[in-house]
Structure formats: C-alpha cells, structure tokens
Amino acid sequence: MEYRKLGETDLSVSAITFGAWAAGGWMWGGNDDQAAIEAMKAAYDLGITTIDTAPIYGQGKSEELVGQAIKGIPRDKVQILTKYGMRWDTTQGTFGFKSKDNDGHDLDVYKFAGKDSIIKECEDSLKRLGTDYIDLYQIHWPDASTPIAETMEAIIRLQEQGKVREAGVSNYNVQQMQEAEQTIKLASNQVPFSMVKRDIEQDVIPYCIENHKSILAYSPMERGLLTGKMKPGQQFGEGDHRAGLKFFKDENIRRTNAFLEKIKPLADEKNATLGQLVIRWTIEHPGITVALVGARNAEQATQNAKAIEVKLSTDEIDFINKQLNELQLVD
C-alpha cells in the first residue's frame, strides 16, 4: 500500500481508503453486517488502514460496524475519518432531503452544523466507533443556516480536548474553504470525483494544489458504473439511490461501457480488472490524495486493495485521458 500525508498535517492515510457508506445499508438497498465487517478487516490486512464513515450512513449503523471491525487493532495503526452536520433526529438547520431508514420508515435529513450540535455529534460518534478520538473530522455538507466560523470554532474546541486530530470539509466549494480557513487550518476536502465526473478540475483541484490541501475523492467508481459490469436495463433494488442518477440512464451505461472497452486491453495487459485500473488512474490524478472505495464483502475489498499494484506510465495515463475526453454523457 502507499501512504500519503493529508495536507500539511502529520496524519498519513492509505492512498486507497475504505469508504463505509454502503456498509450502513442506507440508500444502497440494505447490507449484510458481518460481510461489511469482514470487508473492512480484509482491507486492513492488505494495508488499507484508513476508513471513512459518517453518522448519517445507516443512522449510526456504519460507524458502529467500523467500531466492531477495528476492535483489537492498535488505535494508532488505523485512521478513522468521520463526519458531522447531517441530522435525522432534529429539524434544526437547513432541510436537506426526504429519505427512508433501513426499516423503510420516513426520514427527514437536515444539514445542521451549529456548535452545540457538533459537540453532541462528536460524542455520539466516539461512542459508536468505540474510540476516544477521530483522526479527521469533516463537515458532511455545507449548512447555510450556520456561519462557517461558528462551525469551525466547535472543531477547534474538539481539537483542544483531544477528541479530533485534524479538520476537514466535504462537498465545499473554493469560497467556502477560504472562509473556513479564516478560522481553522483545513487538512482536506472530500468531494465527488470520477472519470465521468470531473468538474472539480476547474477550481477545487487547482485551489487545493496551490494551498497544500488534500482531496479525498469519493465515488471514484461512480457507484459501480466504471466496473464495466453494468448493462443497459440495469435494475436496482428498492431504496437504492442509483436508480434516479443520470449516470445509470441506458444511453450513458452504453457510452461508458464503450469507453471501458477501449481501455480494457490496458487492464488485461497488467492482469488488472477495469475497477483496479480506474482506482489507480484516480490516485495518479494531480491533486487527488486518496480514492475512497467501498466494498460489500472481503472479496471486493481485496480486489480494491490490489489496485495499488497496478503501475501506470505517463504515456498510459495520456492514452486513458485521450479516450476519456471523447466520452460524452447525456443529461
């Protein structure tokens, strides 16, 4: 495995990080708890020492499973990344969206990052994770109802108490990062980035490179689209959020698969899967520190970890980018 420093901090993380959203089951059509725990353990055994989770993933469930998976591992050998600012148990803040929990009950999600709320959230996360500190604490989504300075002051307090090591943001634009930086030193921004979703190349990536901030790329496989296993007419289970996304329109699946066919010979040449090639391309991209990749079972986690063994030359990356620049998705 390769390890990289987050921003200008002393915190090192694995270049491939375990993304534990699907582990919570929520918005992924459920999950198997034991398989999720085994996936995290298998990832750790192959050098993926960093796990990213959030309270909203399964309304605490993902964090609890992470806590079970890391039990027995020396705390300084694993890096726990979690988030705050998405509440399902209060109506404070900015209304986010309607959802359903894992039992099918209606759920209203609010973006709220008030000071007292964050302090409470942190305590709850520490309990679920079974630890006394969080390595990287990230605001999950911007909250228009709370001044950014107030939010970041709460994180400074948690740092002073030793409950949080480093501060990060998620889904922040450049202006929001700049505002946060007036109060606190940020390590990173966690944002969506994949071969078919590259809008952050315009602003967030240049800003982060210039200001020595890390980027944690989430959904680098575009929720399974870039594995090459999806086919037009793909059916998703009840509660699976992918059903309504443009990436999974039949025409876009067709176009993406045509692109993947062009780069498949390169994957074959390296005895790699398409997914492994995609992960390696992601962490080779300028400005990207980490690729967050989920796995539902130990076999998937093992496949993801082995992406680190794939080596790409400059010419090979140029070849992939050339094919990619010809890919146009429909809205």
Question: Which of 98-102, 219-223, 237-241, 246-250 comes out lowest in average pLDDT?
Answer: 237-241
Q: What is the DSSP string of 172-230?
A: --HHHHHHHHTTS-EEEEEEE-BTTB-GGGTTHHHHHHHTT-EEEEE-TTTTTGGGS--
- At 31 the pLDDT is 72
Question: Which of 25-29, 148-152, 242-246, 269-273 comes out lowest in average pLDDT?
Answer: 25-29
Q: Which residues are catalytic?
A: 57
Separation between Cα atoms, residue 246 and residue 324, nearest integer Å: 18
Q: Is the pLDDT of residue 5 over 80?
A: yes
List of domains in the chain: 3-225+274-311 (3.20.20.100)
Q: Is the pLDDT of residue 244 over 90?
A: no
- At 28 the pLDDT is 62
pLDDT class of 26 with cuts at 50, 70, 90: low
Which positions ≥6 away from 125 have C-beta within 8 Å? 55, 63, 82, 84, 134
Span 156-165, mean pLDDT?
98
Question: Which of 69-83, 95-109, 236-250 comes out lowest in average pLDDT?
Answer: 236-250
pLDDT in tens, 193-242: 999 999 999 999 999 999 999 999 999 999 889 998 889 888 887 777 78
Instruction: Please give the residue that has the higher pLDDT: either 188 or 24.
Output: 188
Q: Is the pLDDT of residue 280 over 80?
A: yes
Span 182-201, mean pLDDT?
97
pTM of the complete model: 0.94
Q: What is the DSSP string of 247-309?
A: GGSHHHHHHHHHHHHHHHHHHHHTT--HHHHHHHHHHHSTT--EEEE--SSHHHHHHHHGGGG
pLDDT in tens, 33-64: 899 999 999 999 999 999 999 999 988 999 99
Closest Cα partner for 167 from 148, 189, 145, 149? 189
Q: Is the pLDDT of residue 30 over 70?
A: no
Q: Is the pLDDT of residue 27 over 90?
A: no
- At 193 the pLDDT is 98
pLDDT in tens, 316-325: 999 999 999 9
The whole-chain average pLDDT of the chain stands at 94
Report in angstroms the alpha-carbon separations of 97 from 100, 107, 108, 109, 188: 10, 9, 6, 5, 25
